């Protein structure tokens, strides 16, 4: 999928599930004003509905939005409607400050090779925890 196709599919899911900005930023289980633009109707008379998302974190909400099957909070990585490779590319092209991300990547690579260059760690002597049960009296004589 191209980045434009990824974005269209996400917007399609947002519209299909009738998700508003208040669903995106609100807490699950809390009420969401269905018509926030209505400034005339008193709050006490407005219709409130539950947040469309069950999960708290943005990453889990994206899984909930894009998951192929019914979302389960117990499934850490459900199959999504968009392949991970395409999501990663979309994220890299549209969501990341690439220069800062490149610095983080290079720092991680540097740390990896620095760890590989460390001399081997000498094994510290440890207490011997083995027991010879033949020598341990289990019953008083």
pLDDT per 10-residue tile (average), the chain, 141 residues: 96 92 79 70 71 85 92 88 95 93 95 93 83 73 61
In angstroms, the CA 20 to CA 92 distance is: 25
According to DSSP, the β-strands at 31-33 and 48-50 are antiparallel
Residue 139 lies inside a defined structural domain of this protein:
no
Residue 90 lies inside a defined structural domain of this protein:
yes
Residue 121 lies inside a defined structural domain of this protein:
no
Residue 38 lies inside a defined structural domain of this protein:
yes
Please state whether the predicted TM-score (pTM) of the whole model is above 0.85.
no
Residue 76 lies inside a defined structural domain of this protein:
yes
Residue 44 lies inside a defined structural domain of this protein:
yes
Q: What is the largest CA-CA distance in the chain?
A: 92
Residue 49: helix, strand or coil by DSSP? strand
Task: Give the model's pLDDT for residue 39.
Answer: 72
Nearest Cα to Cα of residue 9 among 72, 92, 67: 67
Alpha carbon separation from 85 to 47, 91, 109, 127, 140 (Å, rounded): 41, 10, 21, 49, 68
């Amino acid at each position: 999928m191209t980045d434009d196709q990824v974005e269209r599919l996400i917007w399609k899911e947002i519209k299909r599930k009738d998700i508003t900005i208040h669903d995106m930023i609100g807490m699950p289980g809390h009420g969401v004003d269905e018509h926030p633009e209505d400034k005339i109707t008193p709050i006490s008379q407005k219709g409130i509905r539950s947040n469309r998302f069950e999960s708290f974190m943005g990453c889990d909400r994206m899984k909930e939005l894009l998951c192929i099957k019914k979302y389960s909070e117990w499934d850490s990585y459900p199959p999504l409607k968009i392949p991970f490779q395409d999501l990663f590319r979309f994220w890299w092209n549209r969501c990341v400050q690439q220069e800062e991300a490149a610095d983080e990547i290079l720092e991680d690579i540097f740390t990896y090779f620095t760890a590989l260059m460390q001399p081997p760690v000498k094994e510290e002597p440890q207490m011997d925890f083995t027991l010879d049960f033949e020598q341990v009296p289990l019953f008083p004589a």
